Amino acid sequence: MILSPAERSYLYDSLIQKPTIRPDSRAEHQMRPLEAKTSFLPGSNGSARIRLMDGSECIVSVKAKVVVAAKEANLIECDVDVVGFRDNSNFVSNLKFNLTNLLQQNFPSDYLRLTSKYSFKLFIDCIVISHSSYPLTLISLTSYLALKTTKLPLLVSETNDEEIAELPTFSDDWDNAKPIADYFKGKGKEFQPPIFITLGYVGSNLIFDPSVEEEQVLENGLIVTFYNNKVITPIANMNLAVNSNNSNFKGLNQTAIIKSIQMGNKFGGAIIRALDALIEQDDDNDAIF
Amino acid sequence: MISANERLFLIESLKNGIRQDSRKLDQLRETHIYISPEEYGYVEVSWGHTKVSVRVSAAIDKPFEDRPFEGIFSINCDISSMASQKFDNYKVGNDEVLIGRIIEKAIRRSNAVDLENLCIVAGSKVWKIQVDANFLNYDGGLIDVGSFAVMLALQHFKKPDISIEDDVVIVHDVDQRQPVPLSILHVPVCLTYSFFTPYTREQILKGDTEEIWAMDATMKEEEVRDGMLVITMNKNRELIQLSKNGGVPIDASLLVELGMKGMQEVDRLTDMMRDVLKKDEKERYERGNLKLLEVGAAR
Amino acid sequence: MVQGPMEPSLRSQANTTEATIEVNVNVANFSTFERKKRTRTEKRIVELKATLEKTFEQSVMCNLYPRTVIQVDIHVLAQDGGLLAGMTNAMTLALIDAGIAMYDYVSSVSAGLHDQTPLLDLNSLEENDMSAITIGVVGKSEKLALLMLEDKMPLDQLESVLAIAIAGSHRIQDLMDTELRRQGNIRASKMTQS
């Protein structure tokens, strides 16, 4: 929804207050409420679906395939599909690049290694069914849930197959399949996929997860990456309001970046904990929602 | 486009079983067939004013990797604005895709042509058979005429004979050795039924209405029809395809009835193809003085 | 997802007497066992789209919404046979949920023939090696709004396959009806509470 000049001015003034006043009475570090469902696609190794209160919805599927490790440049491949946008549009390719880059850089793909020759390759497909605000956070949270609940079948053949010509074999019993997290635990590490957090900069306030109305009056938008309990690079800034011209948009103060890192460090953990709690609570009933 | 008056007139007369070209409702238009006397696999067919030309060509190509023993067979339907202003040269409309797809499903998907017979050297050399159908004039019934002409052309087509010597494939000239026909497993025939209804939708859904149906609709009839059904069958009483993309709902018993009725037309059309081809074969035989080449001929 | 009735993006798209139904079919890359990239212009998908559009033009009361477009986006997330049937049923439910006036349910199911035995609702393994017919039935009648058969089937068996398919569609329609009423009641009770 595009705001009128009067609405913009009203919203801007309320957002630059100290402390900030947001139209949906959220605190500055609060995300929008969401509901989620995991592991609902029978044909995928992992899947998740998130619906925000404004009706935005995203579905992510993770599919694994056995590949010859030496032949693959990357063991993770992402694809993003946004309804109403062409696959080769700037908007979609930007989202796709961000997500692919994030996961390829920060996912220790060594853990996907099966045997000396073979490895799993993960295909992460995102469909954004509808969105109003910039959907990067939505996509990354959904893919977090999907990756977290991805199960890979249990390997029953030898791990050392340098001399063996056959393909690796797996246990037929899906109950024996293990989540990716277990592969990590075996090597003494916690499995926590990276996520993006979008922040809006307005006045000298930073607001988490700006809604579509808020996006239109922002002075700048920031995307920070949160991984292993701290903010990491890439940190980027961009105009989040893609479909309307943002007349308030201006350059970014360096203190804003420092502040965004601090806030990310402070509140990112809570987001991850909330997501993990969602997975725990998710019951096995068949309803998708 | 058609005026409201004309629409009403057409439907009202169809209701009384009268068609503009004095045909019966279950009667197809008259068929004219031209088969090229010089070459193999070029035919022109017209049903009434609808006219289509089909050319079959063959070339040697590499097979698809996942099907090393099968030849390549493709049907390419082109409806240009030469046929009617309705079709755009630059943009492929939904109708065009649908017509092409139905013809393709009737013939290619039903394995009318034996693909394994097109294999020359497994995995490296196969025949690639390409069928190009060009619609020259449009007066309804593109699917029926198109599939009829394609099947006729395929049965008429002969590809050059080949022999293999030390892994080298030799293609013999048509004048040098008798070319060989394709192996056709069955002959599918498409019949399109058009449905017309003088009733409103509420009446139809309440039931108790009789749909008016007609075979082989002309352009004007296609313009006013409320639904269509394509039935593809062959002589062996096999249904190959049924396609009804929405339109007015029809009774299940009517469908069965139409299928049974259609069999007669399928038989007639299949026989017509056979007779025409036989005649052509005979003419060629006489023209080429092929009798002289037969074993035991007095030379 | 159903959007509309709404103003069409191009004035020329508007039909002055009826609503235009536009269907977008999106088959997800991961919907089949083997992941495969699909384009929206694939012939098969265009065909499905056209089929759905034409089917629903007849059962939605389009004359109530002149000069509008009703846009329906269908996402196929997982497929295991009966693709067209599933899409048709989902679209019926979505249109009703969106409050768009329809004459009656369109319920759809696929049926196949194994040797002499007709089978209902084939999965993709079954679909691969026997011929399947998909039908769409309007309401509780025996009228077929949608028909799709792509492989060989003996003509004389058609009747028995149709019979089981129509019975199946009626059953699907009952299920849809119960579910819709349940949802409706939940919503109604929520409304009275607040």
**C vs A contact (3+ beta-carbon pairs below 8 A):** yes
Ramachandran angles phi, psi of C146, nearest 5°: -140, 135
- ipTM of the shown complex: 0.79
Mean pLDDT of chain B: 85
Taken in order B224, B227, B231, B232, the sign of the CA dihedral is positive
List the CATH code of the domain at C2-193: 3.30.230.70
Q: What is the distance in angstroms between the Cα of B61 and the nearest Cα belonging to chain C?
A: 24
Q: What is the distance in angstroms between the Cα of C99 and the nearest Cα belonging to chain A?
A: 18
Q: Which amino acid is at B238?
A: E
Residue C4: per-residue pLDDT: 47
Residue B55 pLDDT class (50, 70, 90 cuts):
very high
Ramachandran angles phi, psi of A163, nearest 5°: -95, -15
Interface residue of B91, B200, B245 to substitute, partner C, most C CBs within 10 Å:
B245
* Nearest CA-CA partner of C55 in C131, C123, C127, C148: C148
Contact residues on chain A for C32, CB-CB shorter than 8 A: 43
Of A61, A83, A129, the CB nearest to C30: A61
Where do we find the tokens 């108790």?
B208
Cβ-defined contact of B255 to C162 (cutoff 8 Å) = yes
Residue B207 pLDDT class (50, 70, 90 cuts):
low
What's the domain count of chain A?
1
Contact residues on chain B for C143, CB-CB shorter than 8 A: 204-205, 207, 249-252
C22: left (phi over 0), alpha (psi -120 to 50) or beta: beta
Q: Is residue B219 part of a domain?
A: yes
**What are chain B's partners, defined as 3 or more CB pairs within 8 angstroms?**
C
Is the confidence at residue A121, as pLDDT, over 50? yes
Q: Does B298 touch chain C (CB under 8 A)?
A: no
Residue C190: per-residue pLDDT: 85
Contact residues on chain C for B255, CB-CB shorter than 8 A: 144, 147, 158, 162
Q: Is residue B173 part of a domain?
A: yes
Residue B86: per-residue pLDDT: 75
Residue A162: per-residue pLDDT: 65
Distance between CA atoms of B231 and B255, rounded to whole angstroms? Answer: 9
Cβ-defined contact of B94 to C46 (cutoff 8 Å) = yes
Dihedral over alpha carbons C23, C24, C25, C29 (to 10 degrees): -170
Answer with the residue of higher pLDDT: A84 or A222. A222
Distance between CA atoms of A147 and A62, rounded to whole angstroms? Answer: 7
Cβ-defined contact of C73 to A83 (cutoff 8 Å) = yes
Q: Is residue B299 part of a domain?
A: no
CB C177: neighbour CB atoms within 10 A? 13
Instruction: Note down the domain range covering A73.
Output: 5-158+172-281
Residue B245 pLDDT class (50, 70, 90 cuts):
confident
* Nearest CA-CA partner of B244 in C17, C88, C114: C88
Partners of residue B181 on adjacent β-strands: B158
Distance between CA atoms of B54 and C116, rounded to whole angstroms? Answer: 38
Enter the tokens of residue A164. Answer: 């063996």
Residue C1: per-residue pLDDT: 47
For chain A, the C-alpha Rg in angstroms (whole number) is: 21
Q: Secondary structure of chain C: what % helix, strand, coil (to 5)?
A: 45, 25, 30
* Nearest CA-CA partner of A113 in A70, A143, A77, A60: A70
Cβ-defined contact of A61 to C32 (cutoff 8 Å) = no
Q: What is the pLDDT of residues B60-114, one digit of tens each?
A: 888 888 888 888 888 888 887 877 777 776 767 777 888 888 888 888 888 888 8
**pLDDT < 70 positions in chain C:** 1-17, 38-41, 194
Residue B44 pLDDT class (50, 70, 90 cuts):
very high
Distance between CA atoms of A230 and A262, rounded to whole angstroms? Answer: 9
| DSSP type of residue B184 | B
Q: Does C33 touch chain A (CB under 8 A)?
A: yes
Q: Does B274 touch chain C (CB under 8 A)?
A: no
Cβ-defined contact of B244 to C144 (cutoff 8 Å) = yes
Contact predicate B94/B137, CB 8 Å: no
Q: What is the pLDDT of residues A224-243, one digit of tens each?
A: 888 888 888 788 888 777 66
Of A123, A129, A130, the CB nearest to C35: A123
Q: What is the pLDDT of residues A20-77, one digit of tens each?
A: 889 888 888 888 888 888 888 887 888 888 988 888 889 898 888 888 877 777 888 8
- The lowest-confidence range among A74-78, B42-46, B200-204 is B200-204
Taken in order C121, C125, C130, C131, the sign of the CA dihedral is positive
Taken in order A13, A16, A17, A21, the sign of the CA dihedral is positive
Mean pLDDT of chain A: 83
Q: What is the pLDDT of residues A175-214, one digit of tens each?
A: 778 788 777 776 667 778 888 888 888 888 888 888 888 8
**CATH number, domain containing residue B93:** 3.30.230.70
Instruction: Note down the domain range covering B223.
Output: 4-293
CB A281: neighbour CB atoms within 10 A? 8
Q: Is residue B191 part of a domain?
A: yes
Is the confidence at residue B53, as pLDDT, over 90? yes
What mean pLDDT do residues A67-93 have? 83
Residue B43: per-residue pLDDT: 92
* Nearest CA-CA partner of A65 in C161, C49, C171, C29: C29
Q: Is residue B265 part of a domain?
A: yes
Residue B153: per-residue pLDDT: 92
Is the confidence at residue B25, as pLDDT, over 60? yes
What's the domain count of chain B?
1
What mean pLDDT do residues A144-165 have? 78
Q: Is residue B184 part of a domain?
A: yes
Cβ-defined contact of B245 to C43 (cutoff 8 Å) = no
Collapse the DSSP code of C62 into the 3-class scheme (helix H, G, I; strand E, B; otherwise coil) and give the result.
helix
Contact residues on chain C for B207, CB-CB shorter than 8 A: 141, 143
What percent of chain B clears pLDDT 70, i.e. is strictly above it? 92
**CATH number, domain containing residue A255:** 3.30.230.70
* Nearest CA-CA partner of B248 in B285, B297, B198, B196: B196
Distance between CA atoms of C76 and B283, rounded to whole angstroms? Answer: 56
**C vs B contact (3+ beta-carbon pairs below 8 A):** yes
Q: What is the pLDDT of residues B145-183, one digit of tens each?
A: 999 999 999 999 988 888 888 878 888 888 788 888 888
Residue B297 pLDDT class (50, 70, 90 cuts):
low
- Confidence (pTM): 0.83
Cβ-defined contact of C78 to A65 (cutoff 8 Å) = no
